[in-house]
Amino acid sequence: MQAHAEDSALADAFAAHERWAFEEAYARYASLLYSTAYHVVGNGEDAEDVVHDALARIWRSPGAYTRARGAIRSFLVVCVRNEAVSRVRSKRRRLRLLERVAAEPEEHDELRVIDVVEHDRLRTAMTKLPPDQRRPLELAYFEQLSHTEIARTLDQPLGTVKSRIAMGLRKLGAALQPPS
């Protein structure tokens, strides 16, 4: 009877977002939450991160738990399991994306100019661009630097680099339009 009263008091305090209740729930259920996460992610460090992230999310959302949601134990297990599943899915998506990127050819066909006349037109159009637009384009397309790397290389804000690349591409597109 006393255990039920303690559980009820803990549930009320947890729903009221009282710090002691959160700490007590963690003390009671930490090993269960860890094993739940470990079962899904299969890695000790990841399981610890999952438990931490799930509990941090609950703490940042004061209305996350109500007595109507059932026992705290079940609520926490479900939250940790959902966090673990989300983490596994996200990791799989990142891996698939990395595999697709790795499978891409290193040369970009749209940048390879075979026709000598087109090559000359591109070179002429590039020389007509202002240096602040031409240089980021050269770094991006001929040296394959990312926008962040270009910003660092040129010691310019990332937004400025992106804007200048976009403006330079628009000007190149207009300059390379076939004559009508």
User: Mind listing the domains of the chain with CATH numbers?
Assistant: 2-103 (1.10.1740.10), 109-175 (1.10.10.10)
25 and 10 Cβ atoms separated by less than 8 Å: yes
pTM: 0.55
SS (H, E, C) 24-74: HHHHHHHHHHHHHHHHHHCCHHHHHHHHHHHHHHHHHCCCCCCHHHCCHHH
Each residue's pLDDT, cut to its tens digit, for the chain (180 residues) gives 556 667 888 899 989 989 999 999 999 999 999 999 999 999 999 999 999 999 999 988 888 998 888 899 999 999 999 999 999 998 888 888 888 777 766 555 555 546 777 777 878 888 899 999 999 888 888 788 888 889 999 999 888 988 898 898 888 888 877 766
pLDDT in tens, 70-117: 899 999 999 999 999 999 998 888 888 888 777 766 555 555 546 777
